[in-house]
Amino acid sequence: MTTARVPAASVPASVPSTMRLTALHAKYGLIETFRVPIAVIGTVVFPALALLFFVVPQRVVAEDPLYATQAVISLCVFAVMSNALFSFGLTISENREKPWDPYLRTLPAPGIARVLAQILSTGALGLVAILPVVLVGGFFTAAAAPPVRILAGILTLAISAVPFMLIGTAIGYALPFKAAIAVIQIVMFSLAFIGGLFLPPILFADWLNEISKFTPSRQAREFVIWAVEGGPLEWWVWVGILVWTAVMLLVSLALYRRDEGKRYR
Contact 228, 150 (CB under 8 A): yes
What average pLDDT is seen over the chain?
85
Distance CA 54, CA 249 (A): 35
Confidence of residue 4 (pLDDT cuts 50, 70, 90): very low
Contact 156, 227 (CB under 8 A): yes
User: What's the predicted TM-score (pTM) here?
Assistant: 0.85
Full 3-state SS string of 122-144:
HHHHHHHHHHHHHHHHHHHCCCC
Q: How many other β-carbons are positioned within 10 Å of the β-carbon of residue 143?
A: 26
Q: How many other β-carbons are positioned within 10 Å of the β-carbon of residue 34?
A: 11
| CA-angle at 96, arms to 91 and 102, nearest 5° | 115
Distance CA 29, CA 237 (A): 32
The model's pLDDT over 100-126, given as tens digits with 9 standing for 90+, comes to 777 777 777 777 777 788 788 888 888
Is the pLDDT score of 84 beyond 80? yes
Note the pLDDT of residue 263.
62
Is the pLDDT score of 155 beyond 80? yes
Contact 25, 114 (CB under 8 A): yes
Mean local confidence (pLDDT), 216-238: 94
Confidence of residue 262 (pLDDT cuts 50, 70, 90): low
Alpha-carbon torsion, ordered 14, 20, 22, 26, to 10 deg: -120
Note the pLDDT of residue 6.
46
Q: Is 35 exposed, middle or buried (0-12, 13-18, 19+ CB in 10 A)?
A: exposed
The model's pLDDT over 14-41, given as tens digits with 9 standing for 90+, comes to 667 778 888 888 888 888 878 777 767 7
Confidence of residue 226 (pLDDT cuts 50, 70, 90): very high
Contact 156, 148 (CB under 8 A): no
